[in-house]
Amino acid sequence: MAMLETERRKLWVRAGGRCSLCKRYLLEGGLTSFEVSIGEGAHIVGQLNAPGSPRGLDDLNVGERDLADNILLACSNCHTEIDKARVAEIMTSELLRARKKAHEDEIRHQTGLAADRRTAVLRLHGEVRGAAMNVPADAAAVAVLQSSDRFPLFPTSYDQQGLEIDLRQIPGENPITPAYYDSAFGHR
C-alpha cells in the first residue's frame, strides 16, 4: 500500500522539511541548489511484516504502517543507513520513534516562536486635573491597531475587559499630594 497524499503532507509539515535524523534541509539539491524535493519517507516499522523488511517483524498492524505516525522524513543517506540490516539492529523502532517525536516536537516549538505581534492593553481609570478619564476597551483596541503593526490583547479578567488600574477611589489627586502617588503606585 502506498502512502496517501494526506499522510505525506502530515509527514513533511511535522518534520519542517528537514531530515528527522541529521536535520538536513530537504527542499534543496546539493549539486545545483535548485529547489527540489530530496526527502524520503522512511518506515520506522518496515512496510512489510517479513524478515527482509527492516524492523518489519513487529506487532504493528500492516494497515497502519504507511501512516505518517510510522514514517519519519529522512534524507536518502539516513534512510539507506537505517535500513541496512546491521544498523537496523541498533536503530530500533523504539529509538526511531523517539527520534521522530523529539524532532517533530522541536520543529513545532521552534516554528511557534514567531514574533508575537500582540500588545497587552492596560487601561488606567482616574481623574486628571479633576476630569474623569476612562478609555473603553474598543477605543483602546482601535488605538493599538491604528498606531502600529500590532494587535490588541486583552488578557483574561473577570469582566473580560483586560487589565485595568482604577485610581478613582484614591484621594489626593486634586490638589496633588505625595500621599496620592504613594497610594496609587505603591511608593515613589
pLDDT digits (tens, 9 = 90+) for 163-179: 777 777 777 666 667 77
Cis omega before residue 171 (within 30°)?
no
Q: Please write down the HEC assignment for all residues of 98-109.
A: HHHHHHHHHHHH
Same domain, 67 and 124: no
Given the C-alpha cell 514567531, which residue does it identify?
114
Same domain, 56 and 95: yes
Quick: pLDDT tens for 112-164: 776 677 888 877 777 776 777 777 888 888 988 998 888 888 776 555 556 77
Higher pLDDT, 170 or 54: 54
- For the segment 58-86, the average pLDDT, to the nearest whole number, is 95
Same domain, 45 and 133: no
- pLDDT-derived band at 47 (thresholds 50, 70, 90) equals very high
Same domain, 31 and 101: yes
Task: Give pLDDT, residue 148.
Answer: 82
Q: Residue 135 sits in which domain range?
A: 118-185
Q: How far apart are CA 64 and CA 86, in angstroms?
A: 25
Task: Give pLDDT, residue 160.
Answer: 54
Same domain, 33 and 103: yes
Same domain, 127 and 74: no
Distance, C-alpha 144 to centroid of its chain: 25
Final residue of a domain: which of 79, 111, 143? 111
Q: Give the chain's domain count.
A: 2
Same domain, 107 and 126: no
Task: Give pLDDT, residue 18.
Answer: 98
Higher pLDDT, 153 or 36: 36
Final residue of a domain: which of 111, 133, 162? 111
Final residue of a domain: which of 48, 83, 111? 111
Same domain, 101 and 9: yes
Same domain, 75 and 147: no
pTM above 0.85, yes or no: no
Same domain, 33 and 78: yes
Q: Which of 37-41, 85-89, 93-97 has the lowest mean pLDDT?
A: 85-89
Task: Give pLDDT, residue 109.
Answer: 87
Same domain, 66 and 93: yes
Write down the mean pLDDT value for the chain. 86
Given the C-alpha cell 484614591, which residue does it identify?
170
Same domain, 163 and 104: no
User: Closest by alpha carbon to 73, among 25, 111, 112?
Assistant: 25
Task: Give pLDDT, residue 185.
Answer: 65
